């Protein structure tokens, strides 16, 4: 699949929200209790940088971004939310992930967030990128097991 990456616009949020992967919707609800559209909008508004992955002539198939946790300490919170179409990009996304992570670390040298323990694929990808994945512990509004990850 051919795709492009560009800075995201607010229209991308509305286009992607109803098509989020089931794992992302579950993680959003467990972590924040929000619906997909509200969570994606808040993530977009919180972030200093948001990128969109777009397929051929389609709306966005993924948005990812980073926002400040502490400007004094150089800490940011990375995030990625995607549709099922994102899964077919596989190795292409993996190849781009490390340079994009390096760009995020130029903005925020220390990155951290939480990932739902049920989303083992995301945890493996984060580990492959070099993040430390902590043991799962209750977190979020539902108190489900989440891994804190950081680099």
Q: How many domains does the chain have?
A: 1
Assess whether pLDDT exceeds 70 at residue 12. Answer: yes
Q: Average pLDDT for residues 62-71, to the nearest whole number? A: 95
Write down the residue that tokens 């891994």 correspond to: 147
Assess whether pLDDT exceeds 80 at residue 22. Answer: yes
Q: Give the Cβ contact number of residue 84 at 10 Å.
A: 13
Assess whether pLDDT exceeds 80 at residue 34. Answer: yes
Q: Do 80 and 62 touch, CB atoms closer than 8 A?
A: yes
1 — pLDDT class (breaks 50, 70, 90): low
- Domain containing residue 32: 3-150
Distance CA 102, CA 97 (A): 9
The CATH number that applies at residue 38 is: 3.40.630.30
What pLDDT, in 10s, does the model give residues 80-98?
Answer: 999 998 888 777 777 778 8
Distance CA 126, CA 139 (A): 18
């Amino acid at each position: 699949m051919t795709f492009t990456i560009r800075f995201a616009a607010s229209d991308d949020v509305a286009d992607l929200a109803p098509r989020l992967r089931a794992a992302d919707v579950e993680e959003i609800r467990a972590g924040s209790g929000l619906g997909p559209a509200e969570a994606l909008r808040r993530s977009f508004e919180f972030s200093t940088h948001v990128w969109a992955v777009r397929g051929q002539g389609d709306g966005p198939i993924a948005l990812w971004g980073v926002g400040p946790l502490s400007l004094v300490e150089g800490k940011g919170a990375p995030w990625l939310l995607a549709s099922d179409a994102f899964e077919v990009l596989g190795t292409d996304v993996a190849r781009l992930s490390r340079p994009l992570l390096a760009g995020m670390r130029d903005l925020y040298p220390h990155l951290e967030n939480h990932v739902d323990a049920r989303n083992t694929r995301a945890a493996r990808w984060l580990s492959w990128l070099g993040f430390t994945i902590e043991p799962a512990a209750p977190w979020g509004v539902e108190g489900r097991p989440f891994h804190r990850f950081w680099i």
